[in-house]
Amino acid sequence: MHVYIVFAHPSRRSFTGDVLAEFCLGLRDGGHSYEIGDLFEMDFRADMSLDEYNREMNVYGNRPDLPVPPDVQAEHAKIEKADGLVFIFPNWWSDGPAKLKGWFDRVCVCGYTYVYEDEEYPMSGLEIDRALVLCTAGNTREHLEETGIAESMQRIYLNDRLRPEIGVTQADMVVLGGGESMRQKNLAQAYQLGKEF
């Protein structure tokens, strides 16, 4: 498989950066190819512009015929080359970093990941065989499960952002939590998830 990895963390010298490195090693050993889209390195803009908003939700009706910005087109091109889509990011206040939320707001545009009936669209839709969400966390997975936070994040990613209707055949989410005491176990899991992708 060819995998596009969306990485959302300001530093590669972090636990999340180490998870990315191990996952990529695993992918390589599993015979997969990959490309990394580092949202902080590329300074990906999180906020929608007024033009982008109007394309999706104009008061006069959505306008999917309007062009999408070049940086979003570049993301679409990377996704189109891929069979797999992976998100690696830290849990920040029970969500991902703002740039990652912005990636979904701006990249998952009308005509690409959702359509309105009886309308024609100028772009081909998203087609991904497998998606994986890898979220690092300071709290343990058990704590995030007991508090319902793991479930709420899972519902948002798997039942909405990466649901089958947007063009993702299968999606899973794994929380790599627990801090230093779980570090080696989590990195081994990240490697394995890459290898068995």
- Binding positions for ligand FMN, rule: CB under 6 A: 9, 14-16, 90-94, 136-139, 177
Give me the least distance between CB of 95 and ligand FMN, in Å please.
Answer: 8
Report yes or no: 19 and 136 within 8 Å, Cβ to Cβ.
Answer: yes
Instruction: Identify which of residues 120 and 184 has a Cβ nearer to ligand FMN in the complex.
Output: 184
Q: Considering the complex, state which of residue 19 and residue 131 has its C-beta at the smaller distance from ligand FMN.
A: 19
Question: In terms of CB distance, is 26 or 111 closer to ligand FMN?
Answer: 26
Please give the order of strands across the beta sheet that includes 128-136: 33-38, 2-7, 84-90, 128-136, 168-176
Tell me 179's DSSP state: G
Rounded CA separation 27/193 (Å): 8
Tell the smallest beta-carbon distance from residue 145 to ligand FMN (Å): 12
- What is the DSSP secondary structure assignment for residue 137, as one 8-state letter? -
Q: How many Cβ atoms from other residues are within 10 Å of residue 89's Cβ?
A: 23
Contact yes or no for 44/103 (Cβ under 8 A)? yes
Kindly state the smallest distance separating residue 189's Cβ from ligand FMN, in Å. Answer: 14
Give the nearer residue to ligand FMN in terms of CB position, either 15 or 103.
15
Q: How far is the CB of 177 from ligand FMN (least distance, A)?
A: 6
